[in-house]
Structure 1
Amino acid sequence: MPWSPIDYLTCLNNFDPLLRKKTIEIANALLENSYKDNRVIPIAISQAKD
């Protein structure tokens, strides 16, 4: 299920809005490439912080 700036996981609540947006973009791209849901968020957060 893709996420949006309005509909996202609660673990992203305390993120800066720009970091949250980038994390959501990366997570959605990973989902499109058939990554498993449980791996998407940690990978997206790590990449967005870089």
Structure 2
Amino acid sequence: MDWIFENFKTDLNALDPLVKEKALYIANQLMRQGKYSEKEAITEAIKRAEEWFYDMEG
């Protein structure tokens, strides 16, 4: 099951499309682990996705 994170549209819409896609992927992985609330998962996922993007950019 993929989570949609509707309550966090504002946070997600402010991101670059690549970062948003990566953040949603990461957030879904975190939710599957069952150790994160939805808010914690999306916050952590955005952080990781932004780090991934900046590392990719060099």
TM-score tier (shorter): 0.7 to 0.9
Tell me the distance in 2 between the aligned counterparts of 1:3 and 1:28: 8
Gaps of 5+ in 2: 52-58
Q: Which runs of 4+ in 1 moved over 2 A?
A: none
Give the aligned partner of residue 8 of structure 2. Answer: 9
Larger Rg: 2
TM-score by length of 2: 0.68
Query: Are 1:27 and 1:41, in contact at CA under 8 Å, matched by a contact in 2?
Result: yes
Structure having the higher helix fraction is 2
Number of corresponding residues = 48
Gaps of 5+ in 1: none
TM-score by length of 1: 0.77
